[in-house]
Structure 1
Amino acid sequence: MTRVFWLTQVADAGHLPSRPELTAGTDLTNAIAAIDGWSLSNKAIETPDLGSTFETKIPGTDEADDSSLTFYEDQVSDTIEQLLMKDATGFVVFLRKGDVPGNKSMDVFPVRIGSRSPNYSTDNEAAKFTVSFSITEKPVQDAPVPAATPAPQPQPQPQPPATQ
């Protein structure tokens, strides 16, 4: 059900992609072998006081976990490798419940690629490579999936004038 896209651009300053931007992106879903990270955590601040033996805390700064995607190697195409090169910037978009317009299950991560490395193995398994990402800005979470582009409506054809 989950879909994962790579977008090179999102025009909206709040990082919400439009349907044409999502459609123009690269669907990575079927090439992904593993996902790691892609979550936020909070560093709580301790707030002890002299009047209590209980040490309280308040929310501090947020940070993103180290994040990566592991892909299956493709013997024919290197499209993903060409898109996800070291230092490339873009957006990793997760549609957690699939491409369901209006559903508030879209997460958008502004990223820069830190590395792309092959996973060497002597085991009997598919060849893979891992791309590590640095999340460069606060991600958008639980955003609505953009509406599908409506199909063009047929235009009425002009009718010839009636003859008498």
Structure 2
Amino acid sequence: MATPITPATRYYRRGTTKVLWVPTIANKNAPTRSELNAGTALEGETGAMAGWQTTSATVPTAALGSRFTPTVPGEITAADSSLTFWASKDSNDVRTLLTREERGFVVWMDEGDVEGQTMDVYPVQVTSQAKVRELDQAAQIMCQFAITSEPAENVEIPAA
């Protein structure tokens, strides 16, 4: 009989996940604690998010000797990604931090900022600060990002 997968310790993302804007990281595969501490915690003003995942395409490898077409892993891409923040009536909000064309890193600590847990590090460039205009909703700013190189996924969070 096969060994079952280890059961997950399930959790609720709100109040747990940390997301940082970090202007400079020398090695995305091994950010230092001082680089992370120099970042800005965004989760307190984040009202929504979209994207922030990678996907892999497949490439067909047909051969004349078979009617079956096997595939091999192909290009890796990142989904269009955004973070939506609460807008401030005096414009003193995310618009002063994440300006268009700004380059940096969005760091996701899904299970919290816990030494030894993992994080994902996305090299990004801010592409827009779209104002979300809804009749019966609080004002928001949606920052959209271009993912500029392959994200470093499941990187160990360094000690404090």
Task: With the length of structure 1 as denominator, give the TM-score of the two structures.
Answer: 0.83
Would you say 1:9 and 2:10 are equivalent positions? no
Q: What's the Cα RMSD here?
A: 1.4
Inter-partner Cα distance in structure 2 for 1:29 and 1:126: 17
**Counterpart AA for 1:72:** W
SS at match of 1:131: strand
**Counterpart AA for 2:146:** S
Would you say 1:143 and 2:155 are equivalent positions? yes
CA deviation after TM superposition for structure 1 residue 11, in Å: 2.3
**Counterpart AA for 1:113:** V
Say if 1:39 and 1:64, in contact at 8 Å, map to a contact too. yes
User: Radius of gyration: which is bigger?
Assistant: 1
Q: Once the two structures are aligned, what percentage of the paired residues are identical?
A: 39
* Structure 1, unpaired ranges of 5+: 149-164
CA deviation after TM superposition for structure 1 residue 98, in Å: 0.1
Inter-partner Cα distance in structure 2 for 1:60 and 1:11: 28
Structure 1 pair 82–143 and aligned structure 2 pair: CA distance change class (3 A): same
**Counterpart AA for 2:125:** R
Q: From 98, 109, 133, give the equivalent of 2:145.
A: 133
Say if 1:114 and 1:132, in contact at 8 Å, map to a contact too. yes
Would you say 1:70 and 2:84 are equivalent positions? yes
Structure 1 pair 141–82 and aligned structure 2 pair: CA distance change class (3 A): same
User: Going by fraction, where is strand more abundant, 1 or 2?
Assistant: 2
Aligned to 2:129: 116
Aligned to 2:41: 27
